[in-house]
Structure 1
Amino acid sequence: MNILLHVHSCKRGQCLPLLPVAATDTDFCRSHGLMTPEPWAVPHLRVGTCFCGACGTALLKVTGRTWMPLPPSMAALGSKGDEPWQAAHAAQCLLLTALTDLPEGPLEVTTRKTGHSLAWVTLSDKGARGQRLDLSGPAIAEMIGSTMPLCHSQGFLLPDEPDQLRALLTDLALSMGFDIICTTGGTGLSPRDITPQTTAALLDTPLPGFTQAMLAASLAKTPHAVISRAAAGTLGQSIIINLPGSRKAVVENLAAVLPALPHALAKLQGDPADCGG
């Protein structure tokens, strides 16, 4: 699909929202403007999707999705019965990160997504308070990135609070469209260990083979692995995997499921090819 943007001048690495061009107001919020097609005609673009110029060079990348209040000028238009989206109090929009310096002006782009997107979520009360360095989360990104192509990787740090985890997992899978979502921490029996039950309640389809493979790998290292309650499964077109809290255990558990992960994602996201041996 060809998309025509009005790009706000930005530097490499700068992140700006994409709003309908009629809703852009630099006095209210700096943003890129969507000129064509109409907002409702743009397909759901998953995190990691790139906007490419005429020569195929990736210029902008989808790195998130959020709700943005429309500027007061749009509220005034909406009150007069203009287009339905203009009357809304807020618009859901993509967050685009510039991959190079871009000048102000119109830009025709096509979309392309190459590789998978990864979100890793570290559950740690001490980590969320800045009292513990997160070593497990970056290990997830390092290990997955070394075995399969990633178009985007982003980490998140939360306290062991079920409401926060529930909201984040739902957003990462169903709104942002991360392909792989790995959590680390909170899989044991401590009173604050809430990751498995929070995750399991959200899953569309459990993946017991993943949890069995991870348990077998852990039991080969320690008998204490029997208390793990890790869950794994799908939510939308995303695969969610609970991993233990220690860096060593993260590596051991991921090694057990990584060989099957690309195939599982391909089938989940509609690959019609027959399964090989």
Structure 2
Amino acid sequence: MSRTARVITVSDRAAAGVREDLSGPTGAELLTNAGWEAPVVIVPDERTLIESAVRAAVADGARLVVTTGGTGIGPRDVTPEATLPLLDPVIPGIAEELRRIGAVKVPAALLSRGVAGIHDGALVVNLAGSPGAVRDGIPVILGLVDHVLSQHAGGDHA
């Protein structure tokens, strides 16, 4: 299986260069340490740009796409709305677990509206936009990605 991933940081300020992206590089480092090639792309909080970035990542061969940012309840937080129409099937248990483990440390993690599922044979997961959420979430994703992709491709249960 290809070990190509893409991390997509969703942030108006990081895309404009007025704030350093901390969560994207954190995710890329964790994925790289686990054997994945994981470049980072930064896009503003715009539904069409987020959707295009996810589609482009998968078209470029990514089997895992992790977004970071834009999952909250603010008016510019549109990552779930951009991602959800791309997913078939949706895998709600992943997002539920990410919220659960995040809330152990930061109760506001329950406000994340991130989603997860399959887009054209790749696992796509929305994480909140903090380095802590990424550090907590990537191990969950890494523990599931191989099984998810195998199952989606018709593999048997291990």
CA distance in 1, matches of 2:26, 2:13: 18
Give the structure 2 partner of residue 20 of structure 1: none
CA contact (8 A) 1:177 1:237 kept: no
CA distance in 2, matches of 1:214, 1:195: 16
CA contact (8 A) 1:214 1:254 kept: no
CA distance in 1, matches of 2:62, 2:139: 21
Could you list the runs of 5+ residues in structure 2 that have no partner in the other structure?
none
TM-score by length of 2: 0.92
Stretches of 4+ aligned residues off by more than 3 angstroms: none
Give the structure 2 partner of residue 122 of structure 1: 9
1:159 pairs with 2:70: no
1 or 2 for the larger relative contact order (CA 8 Å, sep ≥6)? 2
TM-score by length of 1: 0.54
What SS class does the counterpart of residue 201 from structure 1 fall into?
helix
1:275 pairs with 2:142: no
1:143 pairs with 2:30: yes
Q: Deviations over 1:20-69 (max 9, x none)?
A: xxxxxxxxxxxxxxxxxxxxxxxxxxxxxxxxxxxxxxxxxxxxxxxxxx
What SS class does the counterpart of residue 253 from structure 1 fall into?
helix
CA contact (8 A) 2:7 2:40 kept: yes
Which has the larger helix fraction? 2
Q: Superposed, which structure 2 residues align to 1:254-273 within 5 Å?
A: 254-270=138-154, 272=155
CA distance in 1, matches of 2:106, 2:52: 33
Q: Alpha carbon RMSD of aligned pairs, Å?
A: 1.5
Q: How many residues align?
A: 158
Larger radius of gyration: 1
How far is the alpha carbon of 1:269 from its aligned partner?
3.5
Give the structure 1 partner of residue 87 of structure 2: 203
What SS class does the counterpart of residue 183 from structure 1 fall into?
strand
Which has the larger strand fraction? 1
